[in-house]
Amino acid sequence: MPSVSTLGVFAAASLALIAVPGPSVLYIVTRSIEHGRSAGLVSMLGVQAGALVHVTAAALGLSALLASSAVAFSAVTWVGGAYLVYLGIRRLRAGTLTDLGQNPPPVGRAALFRQGALVNVLNPKTAIFFLAFLPQFVDPARGTPALQALALGLCFIAIAILSDGTYALLAGSVGDRLRRNAAAALRLERVGGVLLILLGAVAVLSGVRRTA
């Protein structure tokens, strides 16, 4: 297992990285504003479940294949980007229903968790990040590298739960106030949809640039 000092340095570095909002945080904030704090927390847990998949893959060395294969990277990028665009279009459609006086279809907690997990699992940059970040703190002299990488990854996810959970709670509080106004609720649906579509487009374009 990693030493206490190594874990301390790793935790500090992880916190510095996690505190800067990225695509996953933006997704969580969007869900929190649209559906409330509990929905944001469920989405956050889904995102971290996706991160656990990447941590396990990195520990087993599977991420090396993704990082070395342009075809595999591009395929996952396109699928992940298309999924975000799909979610964005659904949000825009929900906003249209609200504008027409209809109630948008409710989003169940299982669906929020599943979507959050897929958003992160289908992000190849997350896989490559763990592949590049975790080995820097692994010491082969202290035991099996895979187990050390897994322990470090779990530490990273624990810190991410605290940080992303804070974003979810704060955004949910703001959303609770905004959703009391029908016009604001409509704008939230539209803005959330546009943000998800933009995230998907950025993911696809990054894959295109890497392939080129």
Q: Which residue has the higher pLDDT, 81 or 38?
A: 38
- Kindly state the tokens that stand for 99: 């504008």
- Helix, strand, or coil (residue 183): helix
Does a structural domain hold residue 151? Answer: yes
Q: How many Å apart are CA 32 and CA 40, to the nearest integer?
A: 4
2-11, 50-59, 200-209: range with lowest mean pLDDT: 200-209
Structural domain containing residue 45: 4-12+22-211
Whether the model pTM is above 0.85: no
Q: How many Å apart are CA 130 and CA 134, to the nearest integer?
A: 6
Reported as half-sphere exposure (CB side, CA atoms, 13 A), residue 167 has a value of 23
Does a structural domain hold residue 17? Answer: no
Backbone phi, psi, residue 125, to 5°: -65, -30
Q: Please, what is the end-to-end C-alpha distance for the chain in angstroms?
A: 40
Task: Count the domains in the chain.
Answer: 1
| CB-based burial, 52-79: b 16+ in 10 Å, e otherwise | bebbbbbbeeebeebbeeeeebbebbbb
Is residue 190 classed exposed, middle or buried when 0-12, 13-18 and 19+ CB atoms within 10 A define those classes? middle
Tens digit of pLDDT for each residue in 155-204?
Answer: 999 999 999 999 999 988 887 776 655 555 556 566 666 766 776 776 66
Does a structural domain hold residue 28? Answer: yes
Tens digit of pLDDT for each residue in 121-134?
Answer: 887 777 777 877 77
